[in-house]
Chains A and B, each alone.
Chain A
Amino acid sequence: MDAQHTPEKSITPTYKDEQGHFHGDTTTLFGRTINMNVYTVVFLALGLFTIIEVLLFELPRGFLTIPLMLGLALVKAGLVVYFYMHLNKDSRLFAVALLVPTVMVALATLFLMIVPTGY
């Protein structure tokens, strides 16, 4: 957070080059260039993963159903945090601020799951 090292990226257009042209209207995915910005690609991925989740819910349950659903939820949350909340570009400190309480509460939840709770 030192002022000397704080980038000016948050107050300047992210996709503007020296000639004043904007970039970021295409996305490279698995080596292929898609004519959509990354936010739209992420949105479509979120929609697809949600449909898969609901289909898994409707299908007969197997031993992998719940782990798959939880995995998809984590991937969706990760996509939003990484791309929409700009953790891919912002300071790592922001990620730490989010991850520390998340990990702590996850550990507390796991602890609660293995101890008798009186239900």
Chain B
Amino acid sequence: MSDVSQTVGIEQTPQTPLPAGYPHTKGAQAENLKFAFWLYLASEVVIFATMIATFIVFRLHNPEVVKQVHEAANILLVTANTFLLLTSSWAMVMGLRAIQRNDQSGLIKWFSFMAVLGTIFVLLQYVEYQELAHLGIAIYNQGNQFDGFGMRFYAPTAFHGVHVIVGVLWGLWIINNARKGAYSSSNYAGVEAFGLYWHFVDVVWVILFTFLYLV
């Protein structure tokens, strides 16, 4: 920074000491990053919960429609997808555990596994959507037996799918950083923040799986 400012002639301001209590330690910065991330996840809770609430209210008033979909849906495929996401969450936390032990290759190995599982999840969700489309369940069904179901089903599951795609891309970015040696046992706040995101995506699926597919 100082080189650039000297080159372009920017007047340098003297460094002022941080106010008392300002988070200046690495640990405090990591804690603040995590707290900020929890607040972000809180906003995500509201979005997903609103979609789930919409589905619950629809299900209460149209139990026969939901029952028909449950009978027609491929529960084995969705269960397999659930196991993929649960396993990816385990891989994620094992990767974090590895970098806490300064094991860079362990982090890359576990995160690669996680990214593969996340990708398969998205592909299987596409297969599931194809099957549902063949059954006639569209986003907007009017007049047939699935009237009103599609929108309330596809909105939360597709929004969750987008989160998985973002998570996979983020995971690949972390892997790329790890290959450059960006993380260590004393510097893994970025990995931990990503972990919170990925586990949240897993938690949302646990809830969606039960409310949308089983109950």
Contacts and interface: CB of A to CB of B under 8 A. Distances in A.
A52 B99 CA distance: 34
A95 to B, nearest CB: 9
Interface in A22-76: 22, 24, 37, 39-40, 42-43, 46-47, 50, 53-54, 56-58, 66, 69-70, 72-73, 76
A57 B195 CA distance: 31
Interface residues on A, range: 35 or more
Interface in B43-88: 43, 45-46, 49-50, 52-53, 56-58, 60-62, 70, 75, 79, 82-83, 86-87
B49 A101 contact: yes
Contacts of A72: 210
Most chain B beta carbons < 10 A, residue from A4, A46, A83, A93: A46
B52 to A, nearest CB: 8
A2 interface: yes
A109 interface: yes
A39 B200 contact: no
B68 to A, nearest CB: 15
A92 B100 CA distance: 22
Contacts, number: 167
B203 interface: yes
B27 A10 contact: yes
B109 interface: no
A102 B35 contact: no
B97 interface: yes
Interface string A76-90: 110011011100001
B24 interface: yes
A7 B185 CA distance: 15
- Select the residue from A6, A11, A112 with max chain B CB neighbours within 10 A: A11
Contacts of B42: 97-98, 100-101
Contact of A97 (B39, B102, B211): B39
Contact of A102 (B49, B101, B187, B199): B49
Interface of B: 21-28, 30-32, 34-35, 38-39, 41-43, 45-46, 49-50, 52-53, 56-58, 60-62, 70, 75, 79, 82-83, 86-87, 89-90, 92-94, 97, 100-102, 148, 185-189, 192, 195-196, 199-200, 202-203, 206-207, 209-211, 213-215
12 contacts: A6-B27, A10-B34, A11-B186, A13-B100, A15-B101, A43-B86, A53-B214, A80-B199, A80-B203, A93-B38, A97-B41, A112-B56
Given A77-B203, A94-B34, 15 more contacts: A3-B21, A3-B28, A13-B102, A13-B185, A43-B89, A50-B86, A69-B210, A77-B206, A80-B206, A84-B90, A102-B45, A105-B45, A112-B57, A119-B58, A119-B61
